Amino acid sequence: MDPMEAFRSELLADLPNLLRKALEGYRRFAGECPGDDPKAFVAYQTGCRAALAHIQLLVTLARWARPPAASEGAAGLDADQLDRLVREAEAALRRECSDLV
């Protein structure tokens, strides 16, 4: 197997779990109260943005690594599950961006 294809397969196998963990972490962090002082609020917003940037990078990796046709999925990968996680992450990113406006 081509080394790049081997890397894509390995990445695809790991992505559903990585996305799930990143989304759970963001939900947990975003659910906390930021605190009343301005520094605590800035730290809270920075943390939320960092978590969303992490999710966005994982979504970008998922798009890159995903085979062109779902029927060509890597062993151990549930393509529907990955697609659902990508859509969920994209929705979280859209919600966060609309909250910032």
Q: What is the pLDDT of residue 21?
A: 92
- What whole-number distance in Å separates Cα of residue 58 and Cα of residue 62? 6
Contacts of 45 (CB under 8 A, 6+ apart): 34
Q: Would you kindly state where each structural domain of the chain is located, as residue ranges? A: 3-100
**What pLDDT digit, counting tens, does each position of 56-100 carry?**
889 888 888 887 664 444 444 466 766 777 777 777 766 765 655
Q: Are 44 and 35 in contact (CB under 8 A)?
A: yes
Residue 51 structure tokens:
């978590």
Instruction: Pick the more confident residue, 37 or 71.
Output: 37
What's 76's DSSP letter?
T
- What whole-number distance in Å separates Cα of residue 95 and Cα of residue 2? 39
Q: What is the pLDDT of residue 85?
A: 73
Q: What is the pLDDT of residue 96?
A: 61
